[in-house]
Amino acid sequence: MQRLFSNFANGWPGIGLLLLRLLTGAMMIYFGIASLGQAPPPLILVLQMIGVGSAVLLVVGLLTPIAGSLGAVAKVWIGILRISPQSGDPWIAIAQAVLPAAVAMIGPGAWSVDGRLFGRKHIDLSDL
């Protein structure tokens, strides 16, 4: 299972990954909830809710590579659906896909649920 994750950084890099996950999750939750007030087409609404669900997983750091990939694909799909001039700027959604994709590639860090469940374990040889 550890091959699914690329990094369980601790210390300052781990705090940086935590901040990146929190920023990404907050951004995706904000834009997902804000889109409800605009009455988007049903497919975009479903994709935004997939983005919000993956954002919640990113915030807590659970299944980070899967959640980040899913969130990035949802945002790219939203960008593709908004190519028509009357439906808004597609580049905003495409730019929003970069953060969850980066989190999926970098890994969750040590300060995450994934880090606790699947991270490196210290073996105490004195107990043997």
pLDDT confidence of residue 4:
56
Cα gap 24→82, rounded to integer Å? 21
pLDDT tens, position by position, 36-69: 888 888 999 999 999 999 999 999 999 999 999 9
pTM, two decimals, is 0.84
Closest to 119 in 3D by CA, of 108, 106, 105: 108
Those residues whose C-beta lies under 8 Å from the C-beta of residue 20, and which sit 6 or more positions away, are 99, 102, 103, 106
Those residues whose C-beta lies under 8 Å from the C-beta of residue 66, and which sit 6 or more positions away, are 57, 104
Residue 22 pLDDT grade (very low, low, confident, very high; cuts 50, 70, 90): very high
pLDDT confidence of residue 37:
87
Residue 128 has pLDDT above 80, yes or no: no
pLDDT tens, position by position, 75-109: 999 999 887 666 678 888 998 999 999 999 998 88
pLDDT confidence of residue 51:
95
